[in-house]
């Protein structure tokens, strides 16, 4: 018989606020965020590192929250989609551009896409179409065909979208 693993307390700084919960050691970061902190903006699509729906920023770098244990990021700083807007009721430039360019449909991949694009713009304020496609190459979207996501990133970076 397997002995139930004893729970551990994990503290992570999520969207600027230290958050703690007592969880099984094998709890993934995405389950920690969703099930224990109630931050359901981060989604799960495959739980094996392919789809990117679970992307969050860890110390400013995009990571797949399904492939990390919460315990591994103890004490580190995580940004989720809920933390992208500058203030409650407002939208970031990128979120705004996603709405304007219709860069989403069902919205399921959107949090991960926003994380990937946010990271891209932080590194490269005026990315080319190719650079955008490369940056979101690890985030699958089944709705949009990516076109309007590319348009949104261009819009957010002050560039004309190439397509009508």
Partner 1 sequence: MAEPPRFRYIGQHRRAVEHRRFVTGQGRYAADIALPGLLHVAIVASPHASARILSVDASAALALPGVHAVLTGEDLQPEIEPMLPGVDAPEVRRFPLARDVVRYAGEWVAAVVADSRAIAEDAAELVEVDYAPSPHVVDPEAAIAPGAPLVHPMRGSNVIFRREFVWGPVEEDFAAAAHRLSYRVRWGRSATVPIETFVCTAAWNDATNLLDVWASIQMPKFPDLLARCLRLPGNAVRVHFDVDVGGSYGVKRGLKHAILVGFLARQLGRPVRFLEDRLENMRGGDMQGPDRLFDVTLAFDDKGVIRSMRMRALDDVGAYAGRSPFQLGKPVGAIVGPYTIHSVAYEAISVLTNKTPQEAVRGFGQAPTNYAIETGLDKVARFLGLDRIELRRRNLIPPERFPYLIPSGTLYDSGDYARVLDKALAAAPYAELLRQREALRAQGRLAGIGVSTCLEPSGGNSSFEPLFNPKNTTTTWMDSCLIRVDLNGAVTAVMATSSSGQAHETLVSTVVGEVLQREPDSIRVIHADSLSALPSNSPVGSRMAIMLGGAAAGAAKRIRAKMLRIAAHNLGVAEEALEWREGAAVLRADPTRALSWARLVEIAHREFHNLPPGMEPGLQESFVWEVPGGGGLPTPDGRIQMYPCHSFEAHVVLASVDPETGKVALHRYVVGHDCGVMISPDVVHGMTYGGVAHGLGAALMEKFAYSPEGQLLSGSLMDYLLPSAQEVPPITIVDHCTPSPLTEFGQKGSGEAGYLGGPAAIASAINDALAPLGAALDALPMTPAAIWRTLRAAQMARAATESTREPT
Which residue ranges make up the site for ligand FES (CB under 6 A)?
44-47, 49-54, 64, 66, 104-110, 141-144
Distance of closest approach, residue 74 Cβ to partner 1, in angstroms: 19
Q: Least distance (Å) from ligand FES to the CB of residue 79?
A: 16
E strand spans, the chain: 8-14, 17-23, 55-58, 61-64, 77-79
Q: Which residue, 11 or 100, is less far from partner 1 as judged by CB?
A: 100
The whole-angstrom separation of Cα 133 and Cα 6 is 43
CB of 131 to ligand FES, least distance (A): 20
Distance CA 36, CA 133 (A): 33
Residue 54 binds which of ligand FES, partner 1, none (CB < 5-8 A, kind-dependent): ligand FES
H or E element in which residue 134 lies: helix 129-135
Cα(6)–Cα(47) distance, integer angstroms: 23
DSSP-derived secondary structure for 95-110: HHHHHHTT--SS-SSH
Min dist CB 28 to ligand FES, Å, is 9
CB nearer to ligand FES: pick between 8 and 140: 140
- Write down the least CB distance from residue 146 to ligand FES, Å: 9
Residue 66 site contact among partner 1, ligand FES, none (CB < 5 to 8 Å, cut-off depends on kind): ligand FES
Nearer to ligand FES, 106 or 122 (CB): 106
Give the strand order in the sheet containing 8-14: 17-23, 8-14, 77-79, 55-58, 61-64
Q: Measuring CA to CA, which residue among 19, 21, 18, 23 is closest to residue 7?
A: 23
Query: What is the binding site for partner 1 (CB under 8 A)?
Result: 1-2, 4, 24, 26-27, 34-35, 38-48, 50-51, 53, 80-82, 84-85, 91, 95, 98-100, 102, 104-111, 114, 129, 132-134, 136-150, 162-164
């Amino acid at each position: 018989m397997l002995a139930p693993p004893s729970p551990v307390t994990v503290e992570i700084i999520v969207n600027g606020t230290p958050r703690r919960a007592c969880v099984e050691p094998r709890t993934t970061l995405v389950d920690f965020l969703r099930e224990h902190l109630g931050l359901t903006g981060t989604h799960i699509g495959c739980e094996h590192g392919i789809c990117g729906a679970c992307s969050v920023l860890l110390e400013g770098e995009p990571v797949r929250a399904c492939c990390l244990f919460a315990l591994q990021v103890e004490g580190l700083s995580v940004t989720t989609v809920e933390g992208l807007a500058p203030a409650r009721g407002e939208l970031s430039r990128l979120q705004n551009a996603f709405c304007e360019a219709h860069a989403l449909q069902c919205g399921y991949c959107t949090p991960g896409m926003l994380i990937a694009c946010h990271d891209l713009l932080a590194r490269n304020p005026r990315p080319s179409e190719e650079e955008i496609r490369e940056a979101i190459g690890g985030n699958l979207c089944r709705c949009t065909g990516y076109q309007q996501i590319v348009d949104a990133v261009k819009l957010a970076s002050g560039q004309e979208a190439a397509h009508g």
